[in-house]
Structure 1
Amino acid sequence: MTKLTSIISNLENVALKNAATGRKKYFDLYPVTFEEFLEARGLHKEAGCLHGFSLKDPEAGGAITAYFHEKLATEFNVYLRLGGMPRIVDTYIESAGQSSILPERISDLVTTIEDNVKAVLGERSKLYEYDEILRRLAHLSMDTLKFSKLQVNHAGRAEAKKLVNKTVGARVAHKVRLIDSEKDLSKYFLFDCGVLNYLLNGSDLLGSRITSQHLAIGYEAAIGNEIIASLPSRDDLFYWKSPRGAQVEYLLRSPLLAAIDVKTGTGDTRSLQSCALFEPKLDCIVRFGAQPPLVDRNFTAKITSLGLERKITLVNLPHYLGGRLRELLAEI
């Protein structure tokens, strides 16, 4: 008989001393998803509505009425600020949303994350200012990363690149590669929107003022994390950029080749239209925003100045359906 022992760690390349184990299997554990957040708070009707919604029959038992749309959008905005780290979620639930110790808890949590990555980097690393670099990485989320922007005193580009690679390896950040590119033009975002909120806006997770720029970063990271949690591998998520400079945040190859843009409100579809026209094999385009779910199977993508035009399916989804994207795409 073979005995299997599972060892769970959020770090790579950590020596497991005196571990009485045979073969080891590593797997990723992600923060609590939005649907799990609803269930943990006892919002079972809302979670059922979220889980039961279908693009095939949007009026079926899981129909998202105006009431549930507003309710789910409100709860997602709370989740956007808190994130899905279990200790933070537990603190929020136990205090009925009135916790005065959340700032202390999130500060301690981020300090622990920083210390863990420092341990992976090793004592010889010159990156003594890691906490500041982590904050810089938060500010640079979803921009093509130039390692020179992360350099600190006594640490050059090579050290900064090492830091980012180890941070990705430690699952503190996710790497999103440019689709079909031989160059490393990757973007990065942090693994949890609550940690991101702390680094961008301070320890008052629920009360801090969030600028429009930071709100956009938060939504992009939250949707990215929800999608990654549903993927077989986080390496299955890409982004797209046209020769003319248009970009969409994410691109999936399965179950459909789909371009995904994330808006704070409703926003336009110009980048998605560019992707549809420059990528003829694209099956559909997806816009996440504040609007209720809606599918337009005869959307016309255009670039008038180039005389380009094609029909494609446009899927409009609210932010709170990010975790169900792959399931919903499979229904189209």
Structure 2
Amino acid sequence: AQNAYVLADQLPKRDFKTADELVDYLLFTGVLNTGHKRIFIDEAHYLQNLGIILKNFFDENKYQVVVTGSDSFSIYNHLGNELVGRKATFYLYPFDFEDYLFAKGKDVHTLDLSNLAYDVVHNELNDYLEWGGYPEVVMAKTREEKINCQTKIFQTYLDEDVKLLLNRQDYFAFESVLEYLAKNVGSILVWENMKKNLRLSLTSLKKIKEVLDHSFITYHVLPFPLNKANEIKKHQKTYFIDNGLLNYVLRKKMISNSGKSGENFVLTQLLKSKKTTIDLFFWQRKGGFEIDFVLYDFLNKKLIPIEVKSKDTDNIPKIFNTFESVYGEMVDYYIVMNKSIKKERKFGKKIVSFLPLYTKYCTKPSS
């Protein structure tokens, strides 16, 4: 094998000053040998002088190096400016629904999810909505095993990542912030309300939220305004990167699901499948009228508004009329995600595409 694998958080020594020093240590301990061409370093942010070490690797060109970690914030803090122009960044998320089906033994390459009847996949989808896409959880056989896996993942995250990133006071407030976000998933996040409810300083709240975002637990969606006076501009909506973790937090606190599971699922699927030229927003008028998601293709200056409904529907949402009156020239087409209906309807000169939750919805309608 040409690959060497290093778990940086398990190395007895971590204070290497150069790449050569790290290589000598790995050769001495037998982790690396002269036949290896690539070095994979997991939890790389545990290494001191990471940026200098990786710059050495790049400049010397002896090994290809891939560094991974559960906390992008720490990794970037360690890198500094040493790797400008020297790195490519990839984000690895939990399984999306197609990954999940593949792990369950379904050959997704021969399946057209967009044409499958709802009753063919609804059991798998419900399972995915409840347990999410962390590989270990997906492969667990029983409910008890899945809960144990989730508990281990969450506790490891608390013990290793959160403790590393937060001071003592913020660490003990962390779970209350996470619980608040889970109860209010997909809702407008108002910092002052959160501060009042949790009795925490704004500085602590924003620090904890930053850690959650950078460690791939939560993801915040910003509003899409083009300087319109009657639109929401400052607030954000928060979702969980994994439905299973969202449900774990709610279950742990004996809180019922808020009904936003489908919307959170759509967010995770969009996040994992959208092109790099597409940004993800939501849209809300000051009167409270809202479109769940707006995809903005900044390369082509086109918008795709998306509404998520938990039940079957082929009704065109009234809010689309409002959005069309403001941004109609930029809209490519509209999407309504729903339980099982798949059809297209004309909407003036546009098309509204009704799609089941499990479909790939970043493709244009056939009409």
Q: TM-score, normalised by structure 2?
A: 0.70
Displacement, 1:191?
Answer: 0.6
CA distance in 1, matches of 2:357, 2:165: 35
- Which position in structure 2 is the counterpart of 1:251? 294
Provide the aligned length of Structure 1 versus Structure 2.
290
Identity over the aligned pairs, expressed in percent? 19
Given that residues 294 and 304 in structure 2 are in contact (C-alpha distance below 8 angstroms), is that contact kept between their aligned partners in structure 1?
yes
Tell me whether 1:312 sits opposite 2:350 in the alignment: yes
- Which position in structure 1 is the counterpart of 2:311? 265
Secondary structure of the equivalent of 2:68?
A: coil
One-letter amino acid of the structure 2 residue matched with residue 33 of structure 1 = D
One-letter amino acid of the structure 2 residue matched with residue 12 of structure 1 = S
One-letter amino acid of the structure 1 residue matched with residue 251 of structure 2 = N
CA distance in 1, matches of 2:356, 2:334: 14
Given that residues 12 and 120 in structure 1 are in contact (C-alpha distance below 8 angstroms), is that contact kept between their aligned partners in structure 2?
no
Given that residues 141 and 190 in structure 1 are in contact (C-alpha distance below 8 angstroms), is that contact kept between their aligned partners in structure 2?
yes
CA distance in 2, matches of 1:176, 1:263: 19
One-letter amino acid of the structure 2 residue matched with residue 29 of structure 1 = L
One-letter amino acid of the structure 2 residue matched with residue 314 of structure 1 = V
- Which position in structure 1 is the counterpart of 2:364? 329
Which of 82, 88, 103 is equivalent to 2:137?
88
CA distance in 2, matches of 1:103, 1:234: 37
Given that residues 261 and 272 in structure 1 are in contact (C-alpha distance below 8 angstroms), is that contact kept between their aligned partners in structure 2?
no
CA distance in 1, matches of 2:311, 2:162: 38
- Which position in structure 1 is the counterpart of 2:31? none
Structure 1 segment 108-147 matched on structure 2, within 5 A:
108-123=152-167, 126-147=170-191
Given that residues 143 and 188 in structure 1 are in contact (C-alpha distance below 8 angstroms), is that contact kept between their aligned partners in structure 2?
yes
Tell me whether 1:26 sits opposite 2:89 in the alignment: yes
Which of 265, 283, 307 is equivalent to 2:332?
283
Decide whether aligned partners of structure 1 residues 195 and 126 sit closer, same or farther in structure 2, where only a CA change above 3 A counts: closer
CA distance in 2, matches of 1:234, 1:201: 37
Residues 13-58 of structure 1, C-alpha deviation per residue, up to 9 Å, x if partnerless?
32698xxx975543210110101111111122x663335x4xxxxx
Decide whether aligned partners of structure 1 residues 90 and 71 sit closer, same or farther in structure 2, where only a CA change above 3 A counts: same
Residues 69-112 of structure 1, C-alpha deviation per residue, up to 9 Å, x if partnerless?
21123321111011000110111xxx2xx343222221222222
Given that residues 185 and 237 in structure 2 are in contact (C-alpha distance below 8 angstroms), is that contact kept between their aligned partners in structure 1?
yes
Residues 279-311 of structure 1, C-alpha deviation per residue, up to 9 Å, x if partnerless?
222222111011332111x23xxxxxxxxxx44
- Which position in structure 1 is the counterpart of 2:214? 169
- Which position in structure 1 is the counterpart of 2:260? 217
Structure 1 segment 14-93 matched on structure 2, within 5 A:
14=74, 23-44=86-107, 48-51=110-113, 53=114, 63-64=115-116, 68-91=117-140
Unaligned runs of 5+ in 2: 1-59, 228-232
Given that residues 265 and 290 in structure 1 are in contact (C-alpha distance below 8 angstroms), is that contact kept between their aligned partners in structure 2?
yes
Displacement, 1:129?
Answer: 2.0
Given that residues 248 and 261 in structure 1 are in contact (C-alpha distance below 8 angstroms), is that contact kept between their aligned partners in structure 2?
yes
CA distance in 2, matches of 1:35, 1:106: 21
Secondary structure of the equivalent of 1:180?
A: coil
Residues 247-287 of structure 1, C-alpha deviation per residue, up to 9 Å, x if partnerless?
01100123751100111102552233332333222222111
Given that residues 283 and 292 in structure 2 are in contact (C-alpha distance below 8 angstroms), is that contact kept between their aligned partners in structure 1?
yes
CA distance in 2, matches of 1:272, 1:77: 29
Displacement, 1:117?
Answer: 4.6
Secondary structure of the equivalent of 1:165?
A: helix
Residues 163-198 of structure 1, C-alpha deviation per residue, up to 9 Å, x if partnerless?
112211222111111013674311110110011111
- Which position in structure 1 is the counterpart of 2:10? none
CA distance in 2, matches of 1:161, 1:110: 21
CA distance in 2, matches of 1:155, 1:142: 22
Secondary structure of the equivalent of 1:250?
A: strand
Q: Which has the higher contact order (CA 8 A, sep 6+)?
A: 1
Decide whether aligned partners of structure 1 residues 235 and 159 sit closer, same or farther in structure 2, where only a CA change above 3 A counts: farther
- Which position in structure 2 is the counterpart of 1:60? none
CA distance in 1, matches of 2:164, 2:339: 40
- Which position in structure 2 is the counterpart of 1:305? none
Structure 1 segment 191-206 matched on structure 2, within 5 A:
191-202=241-252
Decide whether aligned partners of structure 1 residues 155 and 320 sit closer, same or farther in structure 2, where only a CA change above 3 A counts: same
Secondary structure of the equivalent of 1:129?
A: helix
Q: TM-score, normalised by structure 1?
A: 0.77
CA distance in 2, matches of 1:137, 1:166: 13
Given that residues 138 and 196 in structure 1 are in contact (C-alpha distance below 8 angstroms), is that contact kept between their aligned partners in structure 2?
yes
Given that residues 309 and 336 in structure 2 are in contact (C-alpha distance below 8 angstroms), is that contact kept between their aligned partners in structure 1?
yes
Cα RMSD over matched residues?
3.0
Tell me whether 1:189 sits opposite 2:239 in the alignment: yes
Quick check: 118-127 or 142-151, which moved more?
Answer: 118-127
